[in-house]
Amino acid sequence: EAGVAQSPRYKIIEKRQSVAFWCNPISGHATLYWYQQILGQGPKLLIQFQNNGVVDDSQLPKDRFSAERLKGVDSTLKIQPAKLEDSAVYLCASSHYVGRTRSDTQYFGPGTRLTVL
């Protein structure tokens, strides 16, 4: 079974520029997550999709970050304009949806390392 795919793996941009990250989850996984991991910290949820609907985007800085999951498969996360503090690894994860009484293992992609200069 293919894992979660992400691209690009690395990106360096100047502050105030825009950037986009792409994620392709494991086939058949209805739930997709974007996490931000700042150096020395654990990952923090940015947004969670169930199929193509948003479940939780409470920690997404909506003035600069946006995400979409068209057709309930691939997802794109965009930052516009980027700030220095956005330098981090952006991780995409996916899981089966097994209902409200039980959760399932999340599988993570390799991440995109963003450096904002």
Partner 1 sequence: KQEVTQIPAALSVPEGENLVLNCSFTDSAIYNLQWFRQDPGKGLTSLLLIQSSQREQTSGRLNASLDKSSGRSTLYIAASQPGDSATYLCAVPNSGYALNFGKGTSLLVTP
Query: Which positions lie near partner 1, rule CB under 8 A?
Result: 4, 31, 33, 35, 40-45, 48, 55-56, 91, 93, 95, 102-103, 105-111, 113
Q: Tell me which amino acid residue 99 is.
A: G
> Please, is 101 exposed, middle or buried when counting C-beta atoms within 10 Å of its C-beta (0-12, 13-18, 19+)?
exposed
56 or 85: CB nearest partner 1: 56
CB of 48 to partner 1, least distance (A): 5
Q: How far is the CB of 117 from partner 1 (least distance, A)?
A: 19
CA distance between the termini of the chain: 37
